[in-house]
Amino acid sequence: MQRETIYAAHRVQGIFGGLFLGALALIARSHDSNGLAIGLAAVGAFAVLLLLRRPRLEIDQDGLKVVNLLHTYRLRWTDIAGFGFGAAAMTSCLAIRRRDGTTVNAVVVSDDVRSGYSHQPVAEIVADLQRRHSAATGSSSLPGPFVSEQRARRNSLRVLDAMWLLLCAFFVIFGLATAWRATFDLPATYSRLSSSGVRATATFAGCRVTGIRNHECRLSLAYQGTTRTWNYSEDFPQFHGLLVGAVVPVLVDPHDSATVYTVHDVQERYHAGFGVLGIFGIALASVGAVGLVWEVVRRRRDARFQRALRPQPWS
């Protein structure tokens, strides 16, 4: 019996996708979007870790070796009761039913278009496993479907689809909001403050580094009988060398006292216009839009080929 090893589909694309998410995380981090940066870095690191570990399915005359991210299973042909589809976490994948009633999921063989093979190659893999099992054991057939695995697989796909749609929608909304703020909202605010902003004097309350390299600088402002102290999130290098208590000229919006920017940022128009921040927002929105289009195309293709190409849950 010929030895064969099946690797994950799209593993190279997945690795580059993880590195791309890491680059986006660095860009987000440089613009003080720490929550987004952590999320992107975590997703990218997990994707790269998953695919560099190279989950695989090894087939030889003695049986199967299933290598998942955390566990490895060795199955003899005589231990196997059936092949079909199950759910490993949120991934629909090949499931191998053992004669003792337990199930081993081979995540490397998935029919999810985002991370695995199309339906036809998966059907061919299952058929080949059937033939090899029959040749090794002398059995001409395997038991019928296990309904619980079918249900688990359907639920898994629903959860995965919902998470994918939410992630893409988040990218679109956050990206458009970021691009809008940089390209339209912030320039308009700077222009308004330049023409009608009220000059005031804030007090520098010091800077500190939080997290890995997040600079948090604070200003204190006494204005119209109230004193406000807040974290000023814009261009922190402008405070370099200032001592606590130093004077910082600011401009206050006469119609909204919560809108306060330093004179330096208004004059320099910091992060305003179609610059790095605007391009970053457009890139995020584009990634999300591509993901949504991909989901629509996948669902249409699934509906078109479901009856003709999708194999039975268990053979």
Residue 222 CA to residue 220 CA, distance in Å, equals 7
Question: What separation, in Å, do the N-terminal and C-terminal C-alpha atoms of the chain show?
Answer: 21
Question: Is 291 part of a structural domain of the chain?
Answer: no
- Secondary structure (DSSP) of 194-218: HHHPEEEEEEEEEEEEETTTEEEEE
- 9 and 113, same domain (yes or no): yes
Same domain, 203 and 106: no
- Give the pLDDT means over successive 10-residue stretches in the chain (315 positions): 78 64 69 67 73 80 88 92 72 83 86 67 85 82 47 60 83 89 88 92 86 74 89 83 92 90 91 78 88 82 57 48
C-alpha torsion sign, points 66, 67, 68, 71: positive
| d(C-alpha 311, C-alpha 299), whole Å | 17
Residue 176 belongs to some domain of the structure: no
Domain count of the fold of the chain: 2
The pLDDT of residue 59:
93
Q: Are residues 230 and 133 in the same domain?
A: no
Beta strands across the sheet bearing 103-106: 80-88, 91-98, 103-106
**Pair 55, 68: CB distance under 8 Å:** yes
Q: Check whether residue 137 and residue 196 sit in a common domain.
A: no
Alpha carbon distance 159, 151 (integer Å): 12
Res 33: pLDDT: 61
Is 315 within the bounds of a domain? no
288 belongs to a structural domain: no
The whole-angstrom separation of Cα 68 and Cα 282 is 36
Residue 167, domain member (yes or no): no
| Same domain, yes or no: 125 and 201 | no
Does residue 139 sit in the same domain as residue 199? no
Q: Does 260 map to a domain?
A: yes
121 shares a domain with 29: yes
Residues 12 and 121 in one domain: yes
- Number of H-type helices and E-type strands within the chain: 7, 12
Write out 61-98 in H/E/C secondary structure.
CCEEEEECCCCEEEEEHHHEEEEEEEEECCEEEEEEEE
Residues β-bridged to residue 4: 59
3-state secondary structure of 231: strand
Give the pLDDT of residue 73.
93
Given 275, 291, 310, the domain boundary residue is 275
Contact, 215 vs 266, CB < 8 A? no
Residue 41 lies in a domain: yes
Residue given tokens 């699934």 in the structure block: 302
What was the pLDDT predicted at 6? 87
CATH of the domain at 28: 2.30.29.30
Q: Report d(CA 124, CA 222) in Å as an integer.
A: 73
102 and 197 fall within a common domain: no
Residue 175: C-alpha distances to residues 65, 93, 180, 295 (Å): 43, 33, 8, 19
What is the domain range of residue 92?
4-145
CATH of the domain at 254: 2.40.50
Residues 15 and 97 in one domain: yes
User: What span, in angstroms and rounded, lies between the C-alpha atoms of 124 and 137?
Assistant: 20
Q: Is there a contact between 28 and 40 (Cβ–Cβ < 8 Å)?
A: yes
Write out the two tokens for 258. 């919560």
Asked if residue 23 and residue 122 are part of one domain, the reply reads yes
Residue 292 lies in a domain: no
